[in-house]
């Protein structure tokens, strides 16, 4: 069953330098209990895509298309209706909890916020719920630590608290934006392990935004590869790594440590001056005249495997 269906999503900003086309005609589905990874280079629009689902973008943004959550278009809801979705139905976990947490409020107060808002629990019940959650994300001595402030937590413990806050209302979907970026490798591995367990136990679906393919490989069932504003390849996690089709996906994989460290020639286009045709054509060694002028559609190359490239037409 599809939990979230994104249809022809476009997100534009008006900036001094021109129109920023951050998301261009994105179509994606996330099934119940499924984890979909969005991977791509910095600035390609991953965070904007995540924020647009919860309608957390600034006023100067133009959003078109449909974002169907349990069949209902989130883009058509009122701000009041949207507030009932955020944190309760769909929660977001951000990178760097220190900047998204309030330094003057205790961890307990912040983790309790979604339950106080959505389940109207009183302080005492909310606090018990928080302690239970902190325990489930394996924060030691939760009844003591619940009264501490964010700066008293280590980076890894803060990220655990953030996950607890995301899960406290048992949402159906978690949007996790670079949840392990900035943590050191051992802590990163622990957080990945924790996320794997909690997702399995709760059956929660996840949209995982990351440029860390190791993390994506561990956590995702499916992966969508994003190249300035659009999805260029979608496949199950095994096929993305073992059988990548798009020249960009291949290049991206080859640029990684352990897989050749061979950078893709040229630079990623800015979202203001996106090339016509296939957006990757200026950097692609297979590009033909057609790639310069015509935008490739998603082509099915295998079971649940789609590629936006004329090589497979
Ligand atoms: N409010 C805004 N107004 C104009 N442009 C914006 C705004 N917010 C983001 N952008 C631009 O949109 C583009 C996409 O940004 P986004 O944060 O989604 O990238 P990302 O793929 O998440 O990158 P990273 O991997 O570095 O987190 C960037 O070029 C950014 O400068
Ligand atoms: Mg980002």
Q: Which atom of ligand 1 is nearest to the CA of 49?
A: 18
pLDDT category of residue 79 using cuts at 50, 70 and 90: very high
Global pTM value: 0.94
**Nearest Cα to Cα of residue 27 among 230, 280, 271, 247:** 230
pLDDT of residue 152: 95
CA of 46 to the centre of ligand 1 (A): 8
pLDDT of residue 5: 98
| Rounded mean pLDDT, 267-283 | 91
Return d(Cα 230, Cα 117) in angstroms, integer: 35
pLDDT of residue 96: 74
pLDDT of residue 256: 81
pLDDT of residue 128: 94
The tens digit of pLDDT for each residue in 60-73 reads 899 999 999 999 99
CB distance 20 to ligand 1 below 6 Å: yes
Return d(Cα 118, Cα 109) in angstroms, integer: 14
CB distance 124 to ligand 1 below 6 Å: no
The tens digit of pLDDT for each residue in 231-263 reads 999 999 999 999 999 999 999 999 887 787 888
Cα dihedral angle (17, 22, 24, 30), rounded to 10 degrees? -170
Name the closest ligand to CA 13: 1
Is a pLDDT exceeding 80 seen at residue 39? yes
CA of 59 to the centre of ligand 1 (A): 15
Residue nearest to atom 17 of ligand 1 (CA): 47
pLDDT of residue 57: 94
Mutational pocket test of ligand 1: of 14, 15, 47, the residue with most ligand atoms within 8 Å of the beta carbon:
47
Residue nearest to atom 29 of ligand 1 (CA): 43
Return d(Cα 169, Cα 129) in angstroms, integer: 10
Is a pLDDT exceeding 80 seen at residue 308? yes
Is a pLDDT exceeding 80 seen at residue 119? yes
Of 17-26, 106-115, 268-277, give the lowest mean pLDDT range. 268-277
**Nearest Cα to Cα of residue 159 among 204, 100, 223:** 100
The tens digit of pLDDT for each residue in 122-151 reads 889 999 999 999 999 999 999 999 999 999
Which tokens sit at 163? 């996950």
Return d(Cα 257, Cα 268) in angstroms, integer: 19
Name the closest ligand to CA 41: 1
The tens digit of pLDDT for each residue in 163-212 reads 999 999 999 999 999 999 888 889 889 999 999 999 998 999 999 999 88
Q: What percent of the chain has pLDDT over 70?
A: 100
pLDDT of residue 241: 95
pLDDT category of residue 3 using cuts at 50, 70 and 90: very high
Return d(Cα 22, Cα 244) in angstroms, integer: 24
pLDDT category of residue 94 using cuts at 50, 70 and 90: confident
Parallel, antiparallel or unpaired: strands 2-15 and 61-69: antiparallel
Q: Where are the domains of the chain?
A: 2-89+171-312
pLDDT of residue 65: 98
Q: What is the mean pLDDT of the chain?
A: 93
What number does CATH give the domain 2-89+171-312?
3.40.50.300
Which tokens sit at 118? 């959505």
């Amino acid at each position: 069953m599809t939990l979230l269906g994104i249809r022809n999503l476009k997100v534009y900003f008006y900036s001094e330098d021109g129109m920023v086309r951050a998301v261009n005609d994105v179509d994606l589905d996330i099934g119940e209990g499924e984890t979909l990874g969005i991977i791509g280079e910095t600035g390609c629009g991953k965070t904007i895509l995540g924020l647009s689902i919860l309608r957390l973008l600034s006023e100067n943004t133009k959003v078109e298309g449909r974002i169907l959550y349990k069949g209902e278009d989130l883009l058509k809801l009122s701000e009041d209706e949207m507030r009932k979705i955020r944190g309760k139905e769909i929660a977001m976990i951000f990178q760097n909890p220190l900047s998204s947490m309030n330094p003057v409020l205790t961890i307990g107060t912040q983790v309790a916020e979604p339950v106080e808002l959505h389940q109207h629990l009183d302080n005492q019940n909310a606090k018990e719920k928080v302690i239970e959650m902190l325990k489930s994300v394996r924060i030691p001595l939760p009844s003591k630590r619940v009264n501490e402030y964010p700066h008293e937590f280590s980076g890894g413990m803060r990220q655990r608290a953030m996950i607890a806050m995301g899960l406290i209302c048992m949402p159906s979907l978690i949007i996790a934006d670079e949840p392990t970026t900035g943590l050191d490798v051992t802590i990163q591995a622990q957080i990945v392990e924790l996320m794997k367990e909690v997702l399995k136990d709760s059956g929660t679906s996840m949209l995982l935004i990351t440029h860390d393919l190791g993390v994506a490989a561990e956590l995702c069932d499916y992966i969508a590869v994003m190249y300035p504003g659009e999805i260029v390849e979608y496949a199950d996690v095994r096929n993305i790594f073992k059988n990548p089709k798009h020249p960009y996906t291949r290049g991206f994989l080859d640029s990684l440590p352990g897989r050749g460290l061979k950078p893709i020639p040229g630079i990623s286009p800015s979202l203001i001056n996106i090339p016509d045709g296939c957006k990757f054509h200026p950097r692609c060694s297979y590009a033909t005249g057609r790639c310069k002028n015509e935008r490739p559609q998603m082509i099915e190359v295998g079971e649940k495997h789609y590629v936006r490239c004329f090589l497979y037409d």
